[in-house]
Amino acid sequence: MSTDPHKTPYAPSVLEFKSSTFSVPVLVLSSNDLVAIEQQLQEKIRLAPEFFKNSPLVLDLQELNKQGYDIEVTELTDIVRKSGLLPIGIRGGSVQQNKQALALLIPVYSIHNIGASAETQKPKKIIPTPEPVTDNASTTLITKPIRSGQRIYSSGDLVVLAQVSAGAEIMAEGNIHVYSTLRGRALAGVQGNTEARIFCSDLQAELISIAGNYKISEDLDETVRKKPVQIYLQNHTLIIKDIV
């Protein structure tokens, strides 16, 4: 055994940095009225509390600054945090706003770093779940209900033969098929596949999204609720049609 004090014993690596693609909700502001911002933020959260609970958020001040409206980042982040959201970045800010953000340990992003469309951020993997999962090449099959708090990710299509509960989240790089009630959040084409679609037997979703283009529950017309529908993207707009 070497007794050379200058030699460092071998130690296995306990960490590594990996490149990955994430998308997060972005709060785009067009007014610096803090009272109105807080009020409307609370109204949005009340419509889908489980979706927004402890959600990461990027603050987009580009439009605000284009109109010449100043806003204190410290006061804005206080409102956001009080609403139960977690600010993890700022973009489109002025030099002073960026300094305020960094003082709060909030990263400053370039306008091109993060897409303006909202999706719940998740790593590219299937998060372990007690439900049986069958992954055959490009299709992931779930045979039992997906409960609140569970998250499933498929690198291809995702087929769910049971209900998706409120507070649950399912994501796929391809299409999503739910042969039961969809009450949670469904995000198809999460890596930018604009041809992806969502099919479900009973639409009661908290959020639906294709390639970052999304609608939350309040945006769903009553004529498409609680019935079999397909959802696809057309000119950056989600189209919801009955399945006949």
pLDDT digits (tens, 9 = 90+) for 89-129: 999 999 999 999 999 999 998 754 444 333 333 333 333 33
Report percent pLDDT > 90 for the chain: 45
Residue-wise pLDDT tens digits, 185-214: 999 998 888 999 999 999 999 999 998 888
pLDDT, position 7: 58
Q: How many CB atoms lie within 10 A of CB 131?
A: 15
Burial of 231 (0-12, 13-18, 19+ CB in 10 A): buried
Q: What is the pTM of this model?
A: 0.51
* Residue 131 confidence (pLDDT) above 80: no
Q: Which of 106, 24, 37 is nearest to 71 (CA)?
A: 37
pLDDT, position 23: 53
Q: Which of 99, 77, 100, 75 is nearest to 88 (CA)?
A: 77
Measured between its terminal Cα atoms, the distance across the chain in Å is 77
pLDDT, position 165: 93
Domains of the chain: 26-109 (3.30.70.260), 133-242 (2.160.20.70)
pLDDT, position 6: 59
pLDDT, position 123: 32
Q: What is the mean pLDDT of residues 175-194?
A: 91
Beta-ladder partners of 140: 135, 158
Q: What is the mean pLDDT of residues 72-80?
A: 95
- Please, what is the average pLDDT of the chain? 81
* Residue 157 confidence (pLDDT) above 60: yes
DSSP string spanning 78-125? HHHHHTT-EEEEEES--HHHHHHHHHTT--EE-TTTS-SS------SS
Q: Which of 173, 193, 168, 172 is nearest to 183 (CA)?
A: 168
pLDDT, position 119: 37
